[in-house]
Structure 1
Amino acid sequence: MKIFVTISTIVCLLIQLSVHAQNPNAKGQQQKAEKAIATEVQKTEKAATKEVEKQEKKAEKQVQKVEKQAQSSKDTVEKISKEKEQKAEKENKKPIDTAAHKGNAYGTQKTVEGKEFGQQRAAEAKAQKQQKTDALSKKTTQADSTIVEAEKKIKTAKEKLAKDKKTLTVEQYNEREKKINRAEQELELYKQKNQKAKEKAKE
């Protein structure tokens, strides 16, 4: 766009130069016009070279970006092919002695088999469940004691509010009453959660 504006300016100056060239009295004006044209040409050349340099830099950056992407995709392809080769090698090499090769998966290459294995797994599952229920019941008993303490605090706060009712303003009284009500609501929610946890522990 800048180049177009510059070129149109040069064309206008050339037209002006040709018009003034026909007038014999306008030699000074002709020289001024020639200088103006020369400066405009220089500006245009500079702008064009800057634009070309910008485009070259952009192209260079894009080429580098594409090269990086190509390299990363090449690396991933090589990595995948290596993994496939290693997997194929592992599949081809099966252990001859299964007792020497112990796995971590349940039911494969284990020392205990059949009924004994099933009983062992069931015992482990029962022990895990018992641990969870014990931890849950411990938490519920702690929650019960917390609930009792909170109820005591709310009760004392209500009693104190009733005593201080005469000395407090209406706004102060209402604000404290709201705080106590909020605490009671939160305590009720906590009780419900604790009750659900107790029921879950019984299951």
Structure 2
Amino acid sequence: MSDTKHADPRLARISSSIRAIPDFPKKGIMFRDVTTLLLDHQAFKDSIDIFVERYQGWKIDVVAGIEARGFIFGPPIALGIGAKFVPMRKPKKLPGPVISQEYTLEYGTDRIEMHVGAVEKGERVLIIDDLIATGGTLGAAIKLVEQVGGEIVECACVIELSDLKGRDKLGDKPLYALVDYEGDTILYSM
């Protein structure tokens, strides 16, 4: 991450379009809401363009999007770089045979699933979600892809909440985020 002096000028528009909602979903949490970014046509286009510019030429076979907002950002990125899109969903949402991976939440566990055969051994995979906080969901997505022999090229998010140290749960897998909130300070990617 870098400071605003060196950042892509599109990132200022992206970050300013992300709404902060204090005490949601519970007291003490500052929720970063990307739905307002989706209302700003230019900010949404800029975010997709930055990802596509980054990943063109990386020979990515699969863009795997995590439910639900990874479904918003993933398909246009996949189309832009010529990759297939694979949805990673909550339990019992995908028809047919699936593989699954459990992960820990603050109060319990959850699970994500992917169709059997959606990612094949040796395919190069970009995992996309809107936000990384504690890293549990992205960590589970990595395990799911590795379970079938896919190669994680990178994980990507619009927002990183670096105070929550989610990056630590990704092991040696690289993470690229457009906007990083470290407390109330906004940092930008290069």
Shorter-chain TM band: under 0.3
Larger gyration radius, structure 1 or structure 2 = 1
Q: Which has the higher contact order (CA 8 A, sep 6+)?
A: 2
TM-score, scaled relative to structure 1: 0.16
The structure with more strand, counted as a fraction of residues: 2
